[in-house]
Structure 1
Amino acid sequence: MFVVHCQDKPGAQQIRLDNRAAHLEWLKSNLDKIAMAGPVQTEDRSGMVGSVLVLNFAERAELDAFLAQDPYAKAGLFEAVTVLPYKKVLP
């Protein structure tokens, strides 16, 4: 299992909006791999500035191949992507 934090490029809100429907469909078609997923919001919650995903993959190479298929990644939305191994403890 891995936790993934994707940080949008500054000023890329329109890229996010233009690709949101495709991104959500891609996620929905891969629900078996997703423990949790959602957008990171601005402090005032008026916009989205990134994504956090907790994904069920045993190997990093499989995860990387999966992430490369994200419509957001293909559109160049992200400034940075941080991936960390994750161990669920609770609940």
Structure 2
Amino acid sequence: MLFAFICKDKTDHLQLRLDVRPDHVTFLNGLNAEGTLKFAGPFLDNDGKPCGSLVVVEAADKKAAADLAAKDPYAKAGLFESVEIRPWNWVFNNPASA
């Protein structure tokens, strides 16, 4: 089952995001290597600067997805103001259905 993490950064925390980014990328690369990560990237503000994240993962259930989200170095560093975890259905342009 797929789950989307819709993460909103705390205001004025861009430097924290930049500082923790290498660990975050390593974490996502690990999820990708095991086939758990489907796609990810930052939301951008009006100035083109990152202000949140969209991460889609495959997990057994919402609890397993929440456990993954909690392990993200950004979450551990306290970057996010909020994290919404929602089941998601990849209908269009899903490479798995090609």
Distance in structure 2 (CA, Å) of the matches to 1:69 and 1:60:
14
> How does the TM-score come out when normalised to structure 2?
0.87
SS at match of 2:71: coil
User: Alignment identity in percent?
Assistant: 37
Pair 1:27-2:28 in alignment: yes
Structure 2 residue identity aligned to 1:66 = L
Distance in structure 2 (CA, Å) of the matches to 1:34 and 1:53:
8
* Deviation, structure 1 residue 88: 1.1
Unmatched segments (≥5 aa) in structure 1: none
Distance in structure 2 (CA, Å) of the matches to 1:77 and 1:44:
19
Task: Report the equivalent of 1:3.
Answer: 4
Unmatched segments (≥5 aa) in structure 2: 94-98
- Runs of 4+ that moved beyond 3 A: none
* CA RMSD, Structure 1 to Structure 2 (Å): 0.9
* Deviation, structure 1 residue 60: 0.7
